[in-house]
Amino acid sequence: MNYFANKGGKMRLIAKKMRDEISQMEADKVDVRKEDKTIRKFVIPVQADVVGDIIDIKSVFVMKDYQPQEKKVDIILKKKQHLLLKGPNGIGKTTLLERLAANNSEGAKILEGIRVGYYRQDFSTLDFNETVYNTLIKAMPKEEEEKMRSVASGFLIGNNIMDAKVGSLSEGQKGLVAFAQLVLQEPGLLILDEPTNHINFRHIPVIAEALKNYEGAMILVSHVDEFVSQVGVTEELDLAK
pLDDT of residue 168: 97
Say if residue 170 is in the same domain as residue 122: yes
114 and 225, same domain (yes or no): yes
pLDDT at 80: 96
> According to the model, what pLDDT value does residue 31 have?
36
The answer to the question of residue 175 being in a domain is: yes
* Closest to 184 in 3D by CA, of 155, 205, 156, 219: 155
Give the model's pLDDT for residue 33.
44
Residue 41 in any domain: the answer is no
Helix 145-154 vs helix 171-185: crossing angle, to nearest 10:
140
What burial class does residue 232 get, using C-beta atoms within 10 Å of its C-beta: 0-12 exposed, 13-18 middle, 19+ buried?
A: middle
Contact call for residues 184 and 139 (beta carbons, < 8 A): yes
Nearest-angstrom CA–CA distance, 185 and 33: 30
* Count of domains for the chain: 2
Residue ranges in the chain modelled with pLDDT below 70: 1-36
Looking at residue 27, its pLDDT comes to: 42
DSSP state of 131: B
Same domain, 70 and 178: yes
* Kind plus residue range of the DSSP H or E element containing 63: strand 55-64
Supply the pLDDT for residue 32.
39
> Is residue 87 in some structural domain?
yes
Side chain identity at residue 241, one-letter code? K
Contacts of 128 (CB under 8 A, 6+ apart): 165, 166, 167
The residue range of the domain holding 154 is: 55-238
- Residue-level pLDDT at 172: 95
Distance CA 232, CA 218 (A): 10
Considering the domain architecture, whether residues 186 and 103 belong to the same structural domain is answered as yes
Q: CA torsion sign, 116 to 79 to 103 to 211? A: positive
Domain identity same for 59 and 25: no
Q: Are residues 171 and 117 in the same domain?
A: yes
Q: Kindly report the pTM of this predicted structure.
A: 0.83
Q: Are residues 155 and 206 in the same domain?
A: yes
Do 135 and 175 reside in the same domain of the chain?
yes
* Residue 2: predicted pLDDT: 53
